[in-house]
Structure 1
Amino acid sequence: MPFRLKPHKPYSFFIEHTERSGSKLFADQLHDQLAKETHRPIVLVCIGSDRSTGDSLGPLVGTFLEERSVRNIHVYGTLTKPVHALNLVETLHEVQTRFHRPLIIAIDACLGRLSSVGYIFFSEGPLAPGAGVQKELPSVGEYNIKAVVNVSGFMEMMILQNTRLHLVYELARFITDGFAEFDSRIGRLPQEEAAITRLRQSRDESKS
């Protein structure tokens, strides 16, 4: 009897940046989704500009992660070298040239409903940067992370320009803490595997 395969439902998770132990929960989700892909280079493309308060989320995350010296994540987009509309295509070409089968995760600020301001959304699928401000740019990533920094409506560019830096800073810190925790976990994976192997060998020797 013929049957239909159920369509794949893309993964999606969201959390408010003020939630208690929220960064750890965020790291848990990153680990659950991405740990199986750690054989591939993990590349964060942090999109945004330091010339707009609301749009500075991506460069802030990139800068904070560089300061944390993450070992297993490659970061593009910082306050010093932001990734924005003018160099996005060039940056993506560099990533694809430098890495073999990179797992790209795009990070960007966005506007949304009032009830969503302060939330971080982690989803499977590419990010469409610039869509909220009517810019046509290439889609980015296999996963995307969006942080809602202000309310959408008319004059989005003006809204981004007048977004509170404190909120953007806190959202960027939240995302950074989650990725730093995730980085430390996947950095421990080889050691944990070695410890498990030694334990199994010890048990086998005791049985023989």
Structure 2
Amino acid sequence: MNNVKDAAAHEDVYKGAKIGRVRTVEELTTALSALIPAGLTVADIVFVCIGTDRSTGDAVGPFVGTYLSGLGYTNVYGTIDEPVHAMNLEVTITSLPADKTVIAIDACLGAIHNIGTMGVINGPLKPGAGVNKDLPYVGDYSINATVNVSGFMEYFVLQNTRLSLVIKIAKDITSALVNTFPLSGESRKVAEENTVSPAPIKKKRGRPRKVKTEGVSA
């Protein structure tokens, strides 16, 4: 991919390693745990949920922000009522706490076989690339969700994305984030290596053998 336009024709633009084509809460939780250090807790991060309620396909981020806020998370930027979008993204970025790790969430357009999938990125993403907007990268870690196909009339496609798909993806992302960063502040547990238990001793079949003993004379 040589430029932003070419990249946006296939997927959102981002930097860093990516685990993509994730379809379930369990898979997304695993991907988050694989790319985000286990020591980070909810107290160390902020969620930047990018998008707008004026376009159905672009509302994944605001829905996630609204769901997280409703569950009691206070470290959230971007909701349905107060979205973070192209007009205020730069101001929002400058207002983020310098000592916090930023997790960005955004929708994107992509290949038809990726519609409905999510991806976790060990680095920032570039919002608006799918509709040829030149916005700054955001996020120390990122989640993107492919909501519709790219390459033709992107604004129209976003506005006509099915709301049911957007809500499902937003709920899945929210659930995975809650699994990864519980409000209790606990650190995630790193899976321990499986220990190999000794093989069970096989019992021989048949009647027990009699042991011969020598008689003892008095």
Taking structure 1 as reference, are residues 183 and 39 closer, same or farther at Cα in structure 2, changes over 3 Å only? closer
Take 1:79 and 1:139, find their aligned partners in 2: how far apart are those partners? Answer: 22
How far the C-alpha of 1:15 sits from its partner, in A, is 4.1
Following superposition of structure 1 onto structure 2, how do residues 94-133 of structure 1 map, counting pairs within 5 Å? 94-95=95-96, 99-133=97-131
The match for 1:13 among 19, 22, 33 is 19
1:63 maps to which residue? Answer: 66
Take 1:174 and 1:39, find their aligned partners in 2: how far apart are those partners? Answer: 18
More helix, by proportion: 1
How far the C-alpha of 1:101 sits from its partner, in A, is 2.4
Taking structure 1 as reference, are residues 92 and 176 closer, same or farther at Cα in structure 2, changes over 3 Å only? same
Take 1:108 and 1:39, find their aligned partners in 2: how far apart are those partners? Answer: 19
SS in 2 for 1:30: helix
1:51 maps to which residue? Answer: 54
SS in 2 for 1:136: coil
Q: Look up the equivalent residue of 1:81 and give its one-letter code.
A: E
Following superposition of structure 1 onto structure 2, how do residues 51-200 of structure 1 map, counting pairs within 5 Å? 51-70=54-73, 74-95=75-96, 99-184=97-182, 187-189=185-187
Q: Look up the equivalent residue of 1:188 and give its one-letter code.
A: E
Q: Look up the equivalent residue of 1:57 and give its one-letter code.
A: V
Contact 2:116 2:145 in 1 (8 A): yes
How far the C-alpha of 1:35 sits from its partner, in A, is 2.0
Aligned residues: 174
Take 1:108 and 1:189, find their aligned partners in 2: how far apart are those partners? Answer: 25
SS in 2 for 1:188: coil
> TM-score, with normalisation over the residues of structure 2?
0.73
Q: What's the RMSD between the two structures over aligned residues? A: 2.3
Structure 1 alignment gaps of length 5 or more: 1-8, 193-208
> TM-score, with normalisation over the residues of structure 1?
0.76
Moved over 6 A (4+): none
SS in 2 for 1:148: strand
Q: Deviations over 1:104-137 (max 9, x none)?
A: 1111100001100010010112111111101111
Give the number of the structure whose alpha-carbon radius of gyration is greater.
Answer: 2
Take 2:186 and 2:68, find their aligned partners in 1: how far apart are those partners? Answer: 18
The match for 1:34 among 11, 14, 37 is 37
Structure 2 alignment gaps of length 5 or more: 1-14, 190-218
Take 1:185 and 1:11, find their aligned partners in 2: how far apart are those partners? Answer: 27
2:7 maps to which residue? Answer: none
Take 1:34 and 1:79, find their aligned partners in 2: how far apart are those partners? Answer: 29
Take 1:131 and 1:137, find their aligned partners in 2: how far apart are those partners? Answer: 8
Q: Deviations over 1:170-204 (max 9, x none)?
A: 000000000011122872349x9xxxxxxxxxxxx
